[in-house]
Structure 1
Amino acid sequence: MTTNTVTAKTVESFKSGLGGARFAQLFAILEENGLRPLGKSNTGTLLFQAIDNDGTAHDVLAFRREPVSVLSFPKSYWLSRKELRSSLCGAFEPNEQPTAIPGVGSNSNESAGQVAINKNTLERVKELCVEVCNRVISTHG
């Protein structure tokens, strides 16, 4: 993990408290597959980035705890990959894909969609993370 203080504090805040073990499992999958966490000091968002061979960072996934725990698909990466994102979310019911709420957490304009992280979705979210890593690493690794 990076030594960035903001990132380290953000990762720890997600791993502690209610639902912390779920986040820890998801973060381990992403980091084991080469994605790098990046905490934002002005939001409660934790990004996971893929780094190209030329050093370019791509915001691939984001996590938020408020108002509910979600895995989010940053528009900067997923807007041009709408079909892939839809396919990845196919295992989730509509009620497990909450819409972003403007003014809460990250701006809804920054998300191309999200899935809830809870005890009922955790295994499917873990599978989604593995699949995202398989697709992203083959593209950017």
Structure 2
Amino acid sequence: MSLQDKLNDFFDHQYGSLYRSIHDELVIIGLRAKDNNKTVLYHYGTKANGGNSLVAYRKDPSCVFSFPKSYWDPRHQELNRILSVFSPEELKVPSGSASERYSTHQILLREETLERIVGIIQAHIAPRVRR
């Protein structure tokens, strides 16, 4: 499956318009999408690695916007401040499942969380992108 097929699979999902909105915001700020098993990972530079993989999203086992451990574990206090605009019910603790074990934190993707997720992208993710 190509990356575009993977993206289309997300965009055709029940929450497809939310995934598309997030994808568009991430591409606008200069991130690139990468198929990463059940996840679409967004990074800057030519290759995705721990130093430049900033966010991701997935739909299994639940629909979430995710913060990769490789980038955010050393910045966990800052991430906790960023996530303070979400209620505990909106934050999903990674379960350790195969698709979640590389996440530091996750936000449930819903209509009511989209605007705040986009705000995080614009205010906190965009300044980290090195083009």
The aligned residue for residue 22 of structure 1 is 18
Question: Which residue identity does 2:54 align to in structure 1?
Answer: V
**1:81 matched to 2:103:** no
Aligned pairs for 1:36-51 within 5 A: 36-40=32-36, 43-51=37-45
TM-score, with length taken from structure 1: 0.82
- Percentage identity across aligned positions? 24
The aligned residue for residue 88 of structure 2 is 94
Offset of residue 68 of structure 1: 1.8
Q: Distance in 1 between the 2:64 and 2:53 partners? A: 16
- Cα RMSD (Å): 1.6
* Structure 1: unaligned runs, 5 residues or longer: none
The aligned residue for residue 31 of structure 1 is 27
Deviations 1:100-129 (A, max 9, x none): 12235x142x11111111011111111112
Aligned pairs for 1:1-141 within 5 A: 6-40=2-36, 43-51=37-45, 55=46, 57=48, 58-104=52-98, 106-108=99-101, 110-137=102-129, 140-141=130-131
When structure 1 is superposed on structure 2, of 55-64 and 24-33 the one drifting more is: 55-64
Q: Distance in 1 between the 2:13 and 2:73 partners? A: 32
Instruction: Provide closer, same or farther for how the CA distance between residues 125 and 80 of structure 1 changes in structure 2, counting only shifts above 3 A.
Output: same
Q: Distance in 2 between the 1:10 and 1:56 partners? A: 18
Offset of residue 67 of structure 1: 2.2
SS at match of 2:44: strand
Offset of residue 26 of structure 1: 0.6
Q: Distance in 2 between the 1:128 and 1:93 partners? A: 15
Aligned length: 128
Q: Distance in 2 between the 1:100 and 1:133 partners? A: 20
TM-score, with length taken from structure 2: 0.88
* Structure 2: unaligned runs, 5 residues or longer: none
